[in-house]
Amino acid sequence: MNIAVTGATGRMGRTVIETATDRADVTVAFGVDADVGSGEVAGVRVYQPGELESLLEEARPNALIDFTVPAAAVANAEAAADAAVPVVIGTTGFDEDEEARLEELAERVPVLKTGNFSRGVQALLLALEDALEALPGYDVEVTETHHNQKRDAPSGTAGMILDRIDAVRGEGERVHGRVGDQPREAGEVGVHARRVGDVGSEHEVLIGGNDELLSIEHRSHSRRVFAEGAIDAAVWIAGQRPDFYGFSDVLEVGE
């Protein structure tokens, strides 16, 4: 199994490459990043984005893993589709047009996109759905914490949590933080994003009412858990037909 990594010198791209070197089932053909730096990561050569198309044609990787920014991720996915290379996307913060473009590309090659590659987060989503069904009418608050360089807020994982809440309860008003006189309205969901230090990833859902409070929380201890998941997704997607997938498809659990 041979993979390519875009965003190779970033926090997650670098971790993906370093993690892959410890696995027997994958090798990294090359990395791509606008900020090449030393020109390699963990012994893997890193190239400029303008070289991606030719690299894909020459190396013919089984899948491309992308951790960049939305505009770059779409461009990278387009290059991969042109080369008939499946795509795994961990980039978050896409707008509606970018999402639509990725879905169009999924008609040509398999595309897997998720806000989180953690198996524990998938378990959180499943537990959350059961909790919400068992506690109708209870208040819900979502808080996420990440390192101080994270670009999008709320996080992609928080977005997944909010979408799951909407799927169970119907779409409600999302209140991002509170200031001043803001009594809580029935059915609203509070959303809070914190950015501090080099925190990896923390997400908590509070469900409260009837003199009780339920907390469902996930914390990652390192980025390696997400890198392992992304590589697992790349191994899985190499054998799939063109379509738009999520990480739950890899784990064979419900969305």
Same domain, 109 and 182: no
Same domain, 65 and 142: no
Same domain, 188 and 102: no
Q: What is the pLDDT of residues 86-137, one digit of tens each?
A: 999 999 889 999 999 999 999 999 999 998 999 999 999 999 999 999 999 9
Q: Which of 113, 146, 203, 218 is catalytic?
A: 146
Higher pLDDT, 36 or 161: 161
Residues 7, 46: Cα–Cα separation, whole Å: 9
At 78 the pLDDT is: 98
Q: What is the pLDDT of residues 175-193, one digit of tens each?
A: 999 899 988 888 999 999 9
Q: Which of 113, 147, 150, 192 is catalytic?
A: 150
Does 221 qualify as catalytic in the annotation? no
At 254 the pLDDT is: 54
Same domain, 106 and 228: yes
At 253 the pLDDT is: 64
| Domain membership of residue 168 as a residue range | 119-220
Does 150 qualify as catalytic in the annotation? yes
Residues 65, 61: Cα–Cα separation, whole Å: 10
Given a cut of 80, whether residue 38 has pLDDT beyond it is no
Same domain, 93 and 142: no
Q: What is the pLDDT of residues 39-92, one digit of tens each?
A: 899 999 999 999 999 999 999 999 999 999 999 999 999 999 999 999 999 998
At 102 the pLDDT is: 98
Same domain, 123 and 185: yes
**Cβ contact 226:90 at 8 Å:** yes
CATH number of the domain to which 203 belongs: 3.30.360.10
**Cβ contact 230:90 at 8 Å:** yes
Q: What is the pLDDT of residues 133-162, one digit of tens each?
A: 999 999 999 999 999 988 889 998 999 999
Mean pLDDT taken over the chain: 94
